[in-house]
Structure 1
Amino acid sequence: MKWAVVLGLTVALAGCANPQARKDFSRDLGAGNLPAATSSAVQAAGPLDGEPNNLPWALEAGALLRQSGLPERSTQMLDGAENLMKDDDTRNVAASAGNHALSVVVNDNVLPYAPAVYDTVMLNTYKALNFWQIGDYANARVEWNRTDDRQRRAVEHFEAEITKQRDEIKEGENAELVGRSLSSSDEALRSAGVDVSQWKPYAGYVNPAAIYLHGLYFLFNGEGQADADKARSSLERAYALTKNTQIKIDMAAAKSKRTALKPAVWVVFENGTAAHKEELRIDLPLFLVSGNVKYTGIALPVMRDGTPAYPHLTVGRQQTQMLADMDSIIRGEFKTRFNAILIKEVVRATAKTVLQKQINDSNPLLGTLTAVAQAASTQADLRSWSTLPHNFQLMAVPYPESRQLALGFPGHEDIVVDLPKEKRPVVVYVRALNAAMQPRVDILASK
């Protein structure tokens, strides 16, 4: 009887990897239906009159509320998302033993979403941009400082992650079995066209776009030598990572002794949607000496390329250049976590298969049902922040005498942007999720 309960629960939970809500959300985004996608994300994030309780959906909702021109509501949603975020140690304590036990029987979708480091960096970046947009420079400063702090802690985080993975391989239960299975899995991944060696992060696991925007904010709005040093340091780091020519110009301005920055227009372009996870199923030899196993396998998340909305933007004859490749940031971080995901899936498959054999030895019919449940529950955790951009692009142009800027979108009509009448440094911040959806254009002015 107890096995029937376990099997029933396993099958019931097996379908949670990619629920219908996520499919509908992706369909609405692809069709350019921003109101429907935003409404779905907000509702899925949690109660409308309270704090969000679903982190992945709160992140999606926060990004789409920005896209909808609602920076204050976006910040409220992202505040709620930030409250849901915990560091790895806290998450391990908070997650119940029951959830972890259930994840071994089912899959990782039953566990709370563990945010990536790039999630946390982009969350604070978006909050900083929201505050900058509405002219709340004090709170923008706080969020930029949080963004910078998260980036500086990234290397330490991943060094600890890598050490933890090595210890688990050497000292965990069934270490020899896991090691042999990992070798077989690596070969199976290569055969399936997945080459994790190509997933390379930027040095230090940082996001050059967030670093650059941090530096640009303090270049525009600095208040004293400490802020000037922040601007210079961040722009130097961003240039070292990207070699972008505009960043080099901005870096020179930050190093100069001039007290005022010349009026100009910086165009920052968030382009498309980022790399996303897809499921890869692999039959895995577990070296079990038994003929009483009807199914064994693993399901792994693998990264597929993101999609740009446009190749670039233009102003006159000038066009945006690459600032940061968000796909590289996501894949590089995922590569570091991948071994831990793979190890856990191998251990999970081993435990399920051993259980299947034991049940089958005593009751072949129940063993068959166990195999069916194992196959149904073998699903990868595909949760991620899907509305992050494919890449960031950048250019700067002289402040037009007309106080209007014509942004060119290849294959689509230009968008004319009204600039402040008083000439000053401004950022024209453009977000295009896809070519089916109207791009969002916001003005971020200096003080």
Structure 2
Amino acid sequence: MGTRGFGLFVVAGTVLLGGCAGNPMRQYDSELRETVQLVQGGSVKKAFDLLEKNNEPGVLVKDKDLLYYLEKGELLALDSSYPASKDSWLKADEFIRDWEDAVKSDANKVLGDIGSYLINDKTRRYDGQDFEKVMLSTKLMLSHIMQGSYDLARIEMKKTVEREKLIESFREKEYDKLQEDAKQQDVGITVKDMKGYPMAELDAPEVTGLKNGYQNALSHYLAGYFFEVTGEPSMAEPGYRNALQLAPNLRITQAGLREIGRRKPGPKESDVLFIIESGFAPAWKSITVPIPIPTGKKGLIATPLSFPLVKSEYKGFVPNAINAGKRQIPVETLANLDVMARRQLKDQMPGIVLRTVIRAVLKSVAQEQANKAGAVTGLLTTAVSVVSEQADDRSWRMLPERISVARATLPVGTQSIEFQTGSGTFRKDVDIGNRFTIIPIRLTGGTVYVGQPNTPGAIAIAEEPEPPAKAPAAKRPAPRRPAKKAE
């Protein structure tokens, strides 16, 4: 890197330290930890206030961004404030559509921005993980259905498929460009050279068994369910078929396609879909791994570099079944966001390694030139290098770890539901409506949230489960910390 390259590095560092689309000084994972804990304890309103406080404009926050609207929408949904939740997610969707428009109009420019090796990934505008982009569309689809906006739900279903195709096309182009850049920059270091990085977590069978890191069976099953219960079985078939391709071994996806048109609730019955969300999405951490970096006269030097790591936290409990209407309805998981996050990281790791290594080489050369230029310049360059050397920890933390479903035909009216939570038995009466009913349930590890079905703006139920019955002394389980009541 010559004088011009050194100058660019210093300019980039000045922007980095002064504030940009993303602030490397902001520790997003730490911020959201307390918010998650409040939700676990049933204090959604306090969690909402904390989110607002953490996103007030200041040194660390320039403007409210995509993540603010994603997290806000999730908190409002937990409180069953569905119209406000939908509005927040629509704001978030504007950010995603900006990214989509940029990819459609000039994908090469977007790829060029990704390949900018002078700036750390954390300083870029956050456009969402690929699975978050798709999940946002799914959340909007569900929100529209529960508020009776069926035409908007249909639009969201179509948009989900288009979004998946765009992501697939873009990632293929990105891979080709990264291969080209690796040759041009003469960087031979690959994922295999990352000694000390827990690659086994990215190579686990459940990760490699996924088709990709952004599609999930829930999105397509929900579309199939909606079209079937609203009397459009021919439109339901593609949704069920896509869900079956993504989750071929589940009874519910097999039955979805096999029983189209055969499920016909009576005049006083409803086709009920329970959507059970468990836990919280994994955190994205920064891990430091020594990588051999060429440094001119000194040759290869093992340089500590930071890479992202998906860390499972606040894992959720998924009940085996829901008891309702004197029936035991089996529960099956259609989306495991923990596994999806690891699959996405696995697919994108080659590009992350390439960007990080090239940036480290540029930093090394810049440091040598800065030291020659004087002590002050050398210290400034060192400060830029230290601050910028951390992996991106931004992610949609309020998302659940897993999303499961249970489906049955139940009598219309008030029905008692019962299921296990991992810390006891939860029982509650819910209203079953006509034709079809969707009942959202969230198990956070400490509190159970149940949204009133098909009723815009209904009040959420957030209560503690009943403790499990005492077992015989010889088999007594370890005591559990009781769940807290919502405030």
TM over 0.5: yes
TM alignment of 1:132-171, pairs within 5 A: 132-170=145-183
TM-score by length of 2: 0.76
Give the Å deviation of 1:259. Answer: 9.7
**How many equivalent pairs are there?**
425
Query: Is the counterpart of residue 41 in structure 1 residue 51 in structure 2?
Result: yes
| Structure 2 CA distance for aligned equivalents of residues 289 and 151 of structure 1 | 44
Deviation sequence 1:331-361 (CA, Å, 0-9, x none): 2223222222221111111111100012224
Residue 263 of structure 1 aligns to a residue in which SS?
A: strand
| Structure 1 CA distance for aligned equivalents of residues 243 and 365 of structure 2 | 51
Deviation sequence 1:82-108 (CA, Å, 0-9, x none): 1122236727979999x969x755522
Structure 2 contact 308–393 (Cα < 8 Å) conserved? yes
| Structure 2 CA distance for aligned equivalents of residues 294 and 117 of structure 1 | 35
One of 309, 313, 321 as aligned partner of 1:302: 309
Aligned to 2:405: 394
Residue 294 of structure 2 aligns to a residue in which SS?
A: coil
Deviation sequence 1:110-159 (CA, Å, 0-9, x none): 22112233222111211121111122222222222222322344432332
Letter paired with 1:214: A
Residues 43 and 366 of structure 1, relative CA distance in 2, 3 Å threshold: closer
Letter paired with 1:276: A
Aligned to 2:250: 244
Query: Is the counterpart of residue 270 in structure 1 residue 280 in structure 2?
Result: no
Give the Å deviation of 1:285. Answer: 1.7
| Structure 1 CA distance for aligned equivalents of residues 273 and 447 of structure 2 | 23
Query: Is the counterpart of residue 441 in structure 1 residue 451 in structure 2?
Result: yes
Residues 392 and 131 of structure 1, relative CA distance in 2, 3 Å threshold: same
Residue 297 of structure 1 aligns to a residue in which SS?
A: strand
Structure 1 contact 218–230 (Cα < 8 Å) conserved? yes
RMSD (Å), alpha carbons: 3.7
Letter paired with 1:438: V
Residues 298 and 395 of structure 1, relative CA distance in 2, 3 Å threshold: same
Give the Å deviation of 1:256. Answer: 4.5
Query: Is the counterpart of residue 27 in structure 1 residue 34 in structure 2?
Result: yes
Query: Is the counterpart of residue 410 in structure 1 residue 417 in structure 2?
Result: no
Deviation sequence 1:32-65 (CA, Å, 0-9, x none): 3321222333566689xxxx84112111111221
Aligned to 2:226: 217
Residues 100 and 156 of structure 1, relative CA distance in 2, 3 Å threshold: closer
TM-score by length of 1: 0.82
Aligned to 1:351: 362
Give the Å deviation of 1:258. Answer: 6.5
User: In proportion to residue count, which structure has more strand?
Assistant: 2
- Where structure 1 has 5 or more consecutive residues not aligned to the other structure, the ranges are none
| Structure 2 CA distance for aligned equivalents of residues 270 and 257 of structure 1 | 25
Deviation sequence 1:297-332 (CA, Å, 0-9, x none): 321112122543323263235442222222222222
Residue 273 of structure 2 aligns to a residue in which SS?
A: strand
Residues 293 and 234 of structure 1, relative CA distance in 2, 3 Å threshold: closer
Aligned to 2:391: 380
Residue 443 of structure 1 aligns to a residue in which SS?
A: coil
| Structure 2 CA distance for aligned equivalents of residues 416 and 361 of structure 1 | 72
Residue 439 of structure 1 aligns to a residue in which SS?
A: strand
Residue 451 of structure 2 aligns to a residue in which SS?
A: strand
| Structure 1 CA distance for aligned equivalents of residues 52 and 259 of structure 2 | 41
Which piece of structure 1 moves more, 66-75 or 156-165? 156-165
| Structure 2 CA distance for aligned equivalents of residues 46 and 79 of structure 1 | 20
Query: Is the counterpart of residue 287 in structure 1 residue 276 in structure 2?
Result: no
One of 203, 209, 213 as aligned partner of 2:211: 203
Deviation sequence 1:59-88 (CA, Å, 0-9, x none): 111122111211111111111111122236
| Structure 2 CA distance for aligned equivalents of residues 417 and 239 of structure 1 | 32
- Where structure 2 has 5 or more consecutive residues not aligned to the other structure, the ranges are 1-6, 58-62, 456-487
| Percentage of pairs with the same residue | 20
Give the Å deviation of 1:20. Answer: 5.7
Structure 2 contact 217–243 (Cα < 8 Å) conserved? yes
| Structure 2 CA distance for aligned equivalents of residues 324 and 169 of structure 1 | 34
Letter paired with 2:192: D
| Structure 2 CA distance for aligned equivalents of residues 13 and 295 of structure 1 | 30
| Structure 2 CA distance for aligned equivalents of residues 79 and 46 of structure 1 | 20
Give the Å deviation of 1:219. Answer: 1.1
Query: Is the counterpart of residue 62 in structure 1 residue 73 in structure 2?
Result: yes
Aligned to 1:119: 132
Residues 294 and 362 of structure 1, relative CA distance in 2, 3 Å threshold: farther
Give the Å deviation of 1:9. Answer: 6.2
Aligned to 1:87: 99
Give the Å deviation of 1:257. Answer: 9.5
One of 322, 325, 331 as aligned partner of 2:336: 325
Residues 263 and 7 of structure 1, relative CA distance in 2, 3 Å threshold: closer
| Structure 2 CA distance for aligned equivalents of residues 12 and 129 of structure 1 | 40
One of 182, 186, 194 as aligned partner of 1:188: 194
Aligned to 1:235: 240
User: In proportion to residue count, which structure has more helix?
Assistant: 1
Deviation sequence 1:378-435 (CA, Å, 0-9, x none): 1111111112221111222441587313232232341313223x65432222123x22
Residues 325 and 373 of structure 1, relative CA distance in 2, 3 Å threshold: same
| Structure 2 CA distance for aligned equivalents of residues 295 and 367 of structure 1 | 21
Structure 2 contact 273–437 (Cα < 8 Å) conserved? yes
Give the Å deviation of 1:295. Answer: 9.4
| Structure 2 CA distance for aligned equivalents of residues 359 and 118 of structure 1 | 41
Deviation sequence 1:255-274 (CA, Å, 0-9, x none): 55969897343222111112
Residues 279 and 38 of structure 1, relative CA distance in 2, 3 Å threshold: same
